Structure 1
């Protein structure tokens, strides 16, 4: 159940990259509105959860606010990176979370990193880099350095956010919406404060179609995606959550082909296959499949009549 939730959340985040590009609104405004619109939806849901399960502790609120600051940095940097180096490459860079999340869990909470994960990690990074076109230097353009730094900064913020929300949600079970509401509010404030340094906010001149896409981005990419990921991640090891989220760029590759007519190259398809295989290795899925096949009875073997 946990894995299904994280994968469903990854699918929603993949759609988010497409919505950002289709909306065509500047990076700073997109990052802020994504959070601000989501807050309008999350606040009544959080109030209902508080009435049902009780409120968050002050410590829980503090963790959520800190997570929101990291998320705000992530969104501001990632959205800007999309316009600098494109959705594919920015999605690659943000996935340094696959290292940040398990590393924080190891250092802070002493959660061990499996040998399978360490073996599969180079493959995962190689596959994701191929998916994002990182090896195609001609596609990077003149903003490669700035875009790369922004993408890496977003990935660090992403990993910190995942770690903090997973930690706080585990400590106060049954409270899933309230931490997300606090974190999203904090992220909205953070992106607003960062905006003057990244082009400023431009709330006028946004078309009705773009507003519709921004609302869809807030609902799908903020509310639904993170509720699914938070619900799933508290049931999983940090390495499992981090590796499952690497499916996001693979899904984004397929969605970009369908919606934006951005068709993958042979290298990108090769990278997608490597990512899927590496995620399976990291989570031991190949061994489980093998054990399942061994445990299944041979249909050609005659059964002994029951007495």
Structure 2
């Protein structure tokens, strides 16, 4: 029975990560600005989570500080999504998703600076390997792509914004435990509001979808990628070992790289493939530590899901 449950969880986590990888394909396909795309994703998911919170009777936390931290987490998530979208436009879904996955190292830095978490030798080695891997990916890209600098900057900074978002999710929960649907509603509201001004500044004239097809893809992006994939990941992680979790989470950048290479015909040479593999190996090593704080991107949601629905 336990084996069957573990296999089911592994399958759910794998599907969730692949869905996230497919999300980058939607971003590349729909002709909307990166900031606007982030706004629509969060706005749509906010409606979905509001309905789910209402159906399950979940309420806002009483602490105003917890509400503020939830909204602030959403603002950072909006920045993460918008910058990730910009990176997708510049260097493609594969490389941008891989760069965004470097958020593990930003989480480790935040843990070291603000939460007094010690870093192991293995984590320091993984950071060096990740830097080497990114250099291997970047050297050919800079030679053939004029937008490479912007793509790498936005991709890496998006990982930092995601780490900040996860940090404020932790502070929200530490202030007052918040049910997952209500938490995700707060995050969606905070992120959507934070995107309004930059959306009109940077994406003016490219905010609204141009066809019914684009509307459909945006709806899928906001519901399937932001809601369904999170649900699968949150359900699956508590049932798996840390090592297997870290390995399966790497299917997200792998899926994005394969999509980029096969469907979007992006040229990726042997050096870049080697750098991608090295970077993913470094990310995997960075996720292996006694307490799974480096995987807080997903484990935050797993904790709330496990507590509310066990």
TM bracket (short chain)? 0.7 to 0.9
Question: Retained in 2: the 8 A contact 1:84–1:144?
Answer: yes
Q: Name 1:109's counterpart in structure 2.
A: 115
Residue of 183, 189, 192 corresponding to 2:193 = 189
2:91 is equivalent to residue 85 of structure 1? yes
Aligned partner of 1:126 in structure 2 is 132
Paired with 1:210 and 1:203, the residues of 2 have a C-alpha distance of 12
Instruction: Write the distance in 2 (CA, Å) between the matches of 1:277 and 1:154.
Output: 20
Partner of 2:27: 20
Once the 2 structures are TM-superposed, how far is the Cα of residue 7 of structure 1 from its aligned partner?
5.9
Any conservation in 1 of the 2:103–2:159 contact (CA below 8 Å)?
yes
What is the aligned counterpart of 1:256 among 255, 260, 279?
260
Task: Please tell me whether the aligned partners of residues 40 and 218 of structure 2 are also in contact (alpha carbons under 8 angstroms).
Answer: yes
Aligned residue for 2:117, secondary structure, equals coil
Aligned residues: 279
Bigger-Rg structure (1/2): 1
2:144 matched to 1:139?
A: yes
- Residue 190 of structure 1, CA deviation: 0.9
Match among 260, 271, 275 for residue 271 of structure 1? 275
What are the equivalent positions in structure 2 for 1:1-307 lying under 5 Å apart?
9-49=16-56, 51=57, 55-58=60-63, 59-127=65-133, 130=136, 133-136=137-140, 137-141=142-146, 143-169=147-173, 175-200=179-204, 202-204=206-208, 206-228=210-232, 247-262=251-266, 264-283=268-287
Distance 1:102 1:6 in 2: 23
Q: 1:234 to 1:165 in 2, by over 3 A?
A: farther
Counterpart CA distance in 2 for 1:148 and 1:279 is 17
Q: Shift of the alpha carbon at 1:173?
A: 5.0
2:52 and 2:33 map into 1 onto residues whose CA distance is 29
Q: In 2 relative to 1, CA 162–245 (structure 1 residues): closer, same or farther, beyond 3 Å?
A: farther
Q: In 2, distance between residues paired with 1:279 and 1:146?
A: 22
Report the aligned-residue RMSD: 3.6
TM-aligned CA distance change 1:214 to 1:225, over 3 Å: same
Residues 84/260 of structure 1: CA separation in 2 closer, same or farther (3 Å cut): closer
The verdict on how the C-alpha distance between 1:181 and 1:32 changes in structure 2, with shifts beyond 3 A counting, is: same
**For each residue in 1:173-220, what CA deviation from the matched residue of structure 2 results, as whole angstroms up to 9, or x when unmatched?**
571121111111111111112112212264545212211211111123
Contact 1:28/1:200 (CA < 8 Å) preserved in 2? no
Q: Give the Cα–Cα distance (whole angstroms) in 1 for the partners of residues 239 and 46 of structure 2.
A: 26
Q: What corresponds to 2:307 in structure 1?
A: none
Unmatched runs of 5 consecutive residues or more in structure 2: 1-5, 290-310
Shift of 1:64: 0.9
CA distance in 1, matches of 2:116, 2:239: 17
Rounded to whole Å, the distance in 1 between the matches of 2:234 and 2:67 is: 16
Unpaired runs of 5+ residues, structure 1, are 286-307
Distance (whole Å) between structure 2 residues aligned to residue 118 and residue 150 of structure 1: 24
SS in 1 for 2:138: coil
In the alignment, which residue of structure 1 is the partner of 2:292? Answer: none
Question: Aligned pair in 2 of structure 1 residues 29, 277: CA closer, same or farther (>3 Å)?
Answer: closer
Find the residue that maps to 1:135 and give its secondary structure.
helix
* CA distance in structure 1 between the partners assigned to 2:99 and 2:277 by the alignment: 18
Shift of 1:276: 4.5
